[in-house]
Amino acid sequence: MTLNEKIEKEPVLRLAGLTKRFGGIIATDHLDFDVRAGEIHGLIGPNGAGKSTLVAQIQGNLRPDEGSIIFEGRDITVEAPHRRAKLGVARSFQITSVFMGFTMLANVMMAVQAQAGHSMWFWKNTSMDSSLIDPAMELLELVGLTRSAQALAQNVSYGERRQLELAMALAMKPKLLLLDEPMAGMGRQDGGRMISLLETLKGRYSILLVEHDMDAVFTLSDRISVLVAGRCIATGSPEKIKSDAGVRDAYLGHKST
Amino acid sequence: MTTGLFVEQSLNGLQLGVMLFLVTAGLTLVFGIMDFINLAHGSLFMFGAFLAATFVKITGIFWLALILAVLATGLIGFVMEFLVLRRFYHRSHLDQVLLTFGFILVFNDITRIIWGSIPLPMPLPEILSMPVQIMPGVMYPSFRIAILVLGLIVALCLFLIIERTRLGMWIRAGASDRQMTSALGVNVGLVFTLVFAAGAALAALAGIMSGPISAVQIGMGEPILILALVVTVIGGIGSVKGALIAAIMIGMVDTFGRVMFPPAISSILIYLLMVLILAFRPRGLFPANV
Amino acid sequence: MTLSSVRQLVVPNWPVLLIFVLLALAPVWSMYGGSDFTIRLLTRALILALAAVGLNFVLGFGGLVSLMHASFFGVGAYTVAILAHHDFNGDTLFGLPGTSNLLVSGPAAVFLALVFAVATGALVLRTKGAYFIMMTLALNQMLFFFMIALQQYGGEDGMQIYLPLHLSGYEFGSDSAIYYTVLIVLAFFVFLLSRLVCSRFGNVIRASSENEERLTAIGISPFHYKLVAFTISGAVTAVAGVLWAISQEYVSPADLSWIRSADLVVIAVLGGLVRVWGPLVGALVFVLAEYFLSDITVYWQLVFGLGIIAVVVLFPGGMLSVWATIRKINWGRAHDA
């Protein structure tokens, strides 16, 4: 095996024996799991399977009890969340979390600024700073928000705010994108737009996609993992997951009842 | 330091601690349960003292006046909570600060209108005005002993109510997780009104106790409010147990500090203690919200 | 209406220029018809305005309800007064001679305020919400009781500054000279902070008051930024304290009691929180209300307190929604068009 192949084989994210308990409840149970470079890895599972807890551990808001998180070959298990963000772990939140009193543009500019790493600048007026505005406008265009760039985040629709979350995550030039239910609470139309948006990102970013919308997950994902009670019961291509008897019992069958 | 002085100062410190606990109990629960910051808590302390002094004059019976003043202040607390404060639980801390600061200004001037600007004396019953000998050669004012005993009894009762009864369980649950508690079907609104009124009554009791030691005067509640905040922060917001331990600790440190150190150091001793404790335990000694 | 929705308008614009021009003309007006008293009253308002401008940087933009800004004010005022006191006595402080030269004592005051702000900020900024408010209040009173305990500097009675304060020989000859000095310093800091809130650093501070979780997720840990902001804020308020010592020639513990801290919060809120120069309006309203109310009744605090309560009760969005309502009345139509 050459060095190059070895690097390619090393996944962007690898979880080894990850465990998180809350009192007597095990939210994450000795989980082994990886996200490969350039893939969309779907993560599904019934409510309470520990999906959001897992995302929080990867992002760093929660500290695991056991196991390790390897990001690009580097152990980040105990790194602070803002340090992980600097390394390239970006997250969109399940419950929308943006700067509500900022304009859409200012939101993305904030993320661009954070990525650039020059935040102890005290003098230059950012509302005329093209090194922030230009990339931010590009991202707004990418997610289809050009028209509402000057609107305050608290005044736009829910769907637009979810798109904004994505633009902010992309502004960080992420090496790993954690999307926690990007379609949650969206109508058909907005949801459809989000799916085609994510499709354009396919291959360009390594994405961990947590989503309840089965159609979306099976359309978008290269691989899917099924999480039940904090354990990964199956990983594989969408076709393989569809035909997996264990998954049907534990999850898909559960859903149809 | 002689043994006699040591005993005397220990009693003084314990007494200050007990008084601080009575003031802090209501404050810390209000913080813990409703996340409400009440700067006007010291005004209730002041009302207690003024009302008691007036009732003594009217009735001539100290103990009756004490009970009346405590009940009246509890009623004031009840009305305050019921009419105004309950609208502010979901407002920003800034609004709460402004509101209760406004109350302080209003209460101070109301007190000035009713009682004038001259400090009032707090007449004591005959039985409490004689010093008693607590050990050979050491005399100690009997009212201070009475205050200490009464304070300890009330503190103990309060502690048992909070730790051992169903009502106390609700209050503790509310202080650690408000949403969960209301989801369990506890009427948090009612519990809170009761807690606030009781907290006001306890602050009044503390105010009456301090009356004979310091003067009954306008603004007497403000230094106490600050000490109560320090106790709350050290004990951990929402924790009655923490408040008890922190109050005794502050009472002792403050009292002995004044004897042992020059004023420049003793005046900031308790704040240094607060800083030191928070450096190691940022959420206080017994944080209720985990 | 929330606090943040009008937060975009942070750049000083024509109203503030108008206010500054009017204020610059005030001494001229007072020569014909007004009095020295008017100038002293306005000086007091401008100094409180500067103190609240400093506070408002963390309160209005950073969302930090600090009740310890009077202590920074006190550090500024007392440093100047204490150095002047040793100059008068001709003795030394920690081996250093005293001075009445503001070019020495002014920077010394600001330096001490910076040190005090960094030390206290590092402690209080680890806490949030009610905890933060209580900690700042307690630390304010720590300095208050400390100054009362220092008998050599007047204790509870405060201390008079006997020698004239000067700038390397230049003495402030009149009330107007002091007034203009204060006005220029205020204008300078309003300009400085207006730049600051629009900078990248200012963005981080505003973002941290909006949503700290989000800020962390995009890779910025707010703590150090908030500490820098808190320190700048404390230093600006300390400069106001220095000006206070110059204009009053007297300092007392009352200048740094927590009541003064709360006054500064009220002034910032009266100014609407969202503009750097807002506290200037707040301070003028505050000082004039204080003056006229105390003229009418000795119980003016009652009226003032009721006013504060009424505003917070009737306008759930705080003073800001009062301003917003006024703004709508005036410019709403133009806005819709």
> pLDDT (tens digit, 9 = 90+) per residue, C257-311?
999 999 999 999 988 888 898 899 999 999 998 898 888 888 888 999 999 898 8
Confidence (pLDDT) at B143: 81
pLDDT digits (tens, 9 = 90+) for B35-80: 889 999 999 999 999 999 999 889 988 889 999 999 999 999 999 9
If asked whether residues A45 and A58 sit together in one domain, one would say: yes
Q: How far A124 CA sits from the closest chain C CA (Å)?
A: 5
> What is the tally of structural domains in chain B?
1
Across residues C125-132, what is the average pLDDT?
86
If asked whether residues A114 and A83 sit together in one domain, one would say: no
Confidence (pLDDT) at A39: 92
Higher pLDDT, C82 or C313: C82
Domain with B173 in it: 3-280
Residue pair B240/B162 in contact by the 8 Å Cβ criterion: yes
Confidence (pLDDT) at B219: 84
* Alpha carbons B282 and B269: distance in angstroms, whole number: 19
Neighbours of A2 (CB within 10 A): 7
Q: Is residue B55 part of a domain?
A: yes
Q: Is residue B288 part of a domain?
A: no
Lowest-pLDDT choice from A85-94, B162-171, B227-236, C233-242:
B162-171
**Confidence tier at B290 by pLDDT (50, 70, 90):** very low
Spell out which residues of chain C touch residue B271, defining contact as CB-CB under 8 Å: 138-139, 141-142
* Residue B239: CATH number of its domain: 1.10.3470
Domain with A80 in it: 11-88+174-257
If asked whether residues A166 and A222 sit together in one domain, one would say: no
Report, as ranges of residue numbers, the positions in chain A whose pLDDT lies below 50. 1, 6, 255-257
Lowest-pLDDT choice from B88-102, B144-158, C244-258:
B144-158
Confidence (pLDDT) at C32: 73
**Domain closes at, from A117, A145, A173:** A173
- Return all residues near C102 (Cβ < 8 A) that are at least 6 apart: C80, C165, C166, C167, C242, C246
**Domain closes at, from A173, A193, A227:** A173
Q: Does the pLDDT at position C337 exceed 60? A: no
* Residue A190: CATH number of its domain: 3.40.50.300
B269 has a chain C CB within 8 A of its CB:
no
If asked whether residues A60 and A115 sit together in one domain, one would say: no
Confidence (pLDDT) at C7: 41
Confidence (pLDDT) at C25: 86
> Does B touch C (3+ CB pairs < 8 Å)?
yes
Chain C interface test: which of B34, B97, B99, B113 (most C C-beta within 10 Å): B97
Confidence (pLDDT) at C323: 63
* Alpha carbons B54 and B68: distance in angstroms, whole number: 10
The pair of three-digit structure tokens given for residue C228, joined into one six-digit string: 């820098």
Q: How far C129 CA sits from the closest chain B CA (Å)?
A: 7
Q: How far B133 CA sits from the closest chain C CA (Å)?
A: 33
**Confidence tier at C336 by pLDDT (50, 70, 90):** very low
Q: Is residue B246 part of a domain?
A: yes
Q: Do B264 and C142 touch (CB under 8 A)?
A: no
A254 residue type, one letter: H
Residue pair B234/B249 in contact by the 8 Å Cβ criterion: yes
Query: What is the arrangement of strands in the sheet containing A66-71, beginning at the earlier edge strand?
Result: A25-35, A13-22, A66-71, A74-75
The reply to whether ipTM tops 0.90 is no
If asked whether residues A46 and A69 sit together in one domain, one would say: yes
Confidence (pLDDT) at C176: 87
The pair of three-digit structure tokens given for residue A73, joined into one six-digit string: 């070959």
* Alpha carbons C132 and C121: distance in angstroms, whole number: 10
If asked whether residues A194 and A145 sit together in one domain, one would say: no
If asked whether residues A56 and A181 sit together in one domain, one would say: yes
B180 has a chain C CB within 8 A of its CB:
no
Spell out which residues of chain C touch residue A106, defining contact as CB-CB under 8 Å: 203
Confidence (pLDDT) at B182: 63
Angle between helices C129-149 and C258-270 (to 10 degrees): 130
Upper half-sphere CA count for residue A176 (Cβ side, 13 Å): 26
Q: Is residue A58 part of a domain?
A: yes
* Alpha carbons C142 and C70: distance in angstroms, whole number: 12
**Domain closes at, from A173, A201, A229:** A173
Residue pair A46/A251 in contact by the 8 Å Cβ criterion: yes
Q: Is residue A216 part of a domain?
A: yes
If asked whether residues A81 and A128 sit together in one domain, one would say: no
B226 has a chain C CB within 8 A of its CB:
yes
Confidence (pLDDT) at A181: 87
Q: Do C149 and B102 touch (CB under 8 A)?
A: no
What kind and span of H or E run contains B255?
helix B240-260
Q: Do C313 and B99 touch (CB under 8 A)?
A: yes
B274 has a chain C CB within 8 A of its CB:
yes
If asked whether residues A167 and A184 sit together in one domain, one would say: no
pLDDT digits (tens, 9 = 90+) for B251-267: 999 999 998 898 888 88
Q: Is residue B146 part of a domain?
A: yes
- Mean pLDDT score of chain C: 87
Q: Is residue B286 part of a domain?
A: no
Q: Do B99 and C67 touch (CB under 8 A)?
A: no
Lowest-pLDDT choice from A183-192, B264-273, C232-241:
A183-192
Confidence (pLDDT) at B152: 87
Q: Is residue B289 part of a domain?
A: no
**Confidence tier at C320 by pLDDT (50, 70, 90):** low
A120 has a chain C CB within 8 A of its CB:
yes
If asked whether residues A15 and A111 sit together in one domain, one would say: no
* Alpha carbons C279 and C204: distance in angstroms, whole number: 22
Q: Is residue A157 part of a domain?
A: yes
Q: Is residue B180 part of a domain?
A: yes
The pair of three-digit structure tokens given for residue C281, joined into one six-digit string: 């309006």
Higher pLDDT, B247 or B148: B247
Higher pLDDT, B125 or B274: B274
Confidence (pLDDT) at C319: 59
Q: Is residue A20 part of a domain?
A: yes
Q: Do C269 and B98 touch (CB under 8 A)?
A: yes
If asked whether residues A52 and A106 sit together in one domain, one would say: no
Q: Do A102 and C207 touch (CB under 8 A)?
A: yes
Q: How far B167 CA sits from the closest chain C CA (Å)?
A: 25
If asked whether residues A204 and A220 sit together in one domain, one would say: yes
Spell out which residues of chain C touch residue B275, defining contact as CB-CB under 8 Å: 123
Confidence (pLDDT) at C163: 84
Q: Do B101 and C149 touch (CB under 8 A)?
A: no
B97 has a chain C CB within 8 A of its CB:
yes
Q: Which residue of B has its CA nearest to C318?
A: B95
Across residues C42-57, what is the average pLDDT?
96
**Confidence tier at C3 by pLDDT (50, 70, 90):** very low
Q: Which residue of C has its CA nearest to B108?
A: C302
> What is the tally of structural domains in chain A?
2
pLDDT digits (tens, 9 = 90+) for A43-60: 988 887 888 889 999 999
Nearest-by-Cβ selection for B267 from C133, C148, C318:
C148
Q: Is residue A150 part of a domain?
A: yes
Q: Does the pLDDT at position C327 exceed 70? A: no
Q: Does the pLDDT at position C94 exceed 90? A: no
- Mean pLDDT score of chain B: 86
Q: Do C199 and A125 touch (CB under 8 A)?
A: yes
Query: How many interchain CB pairs under 8 A, A with C?
Result: 113
Q: Is residue B106 part of a domain?
A: yes
Q: Is residue A63 part of a domain?
A: yes
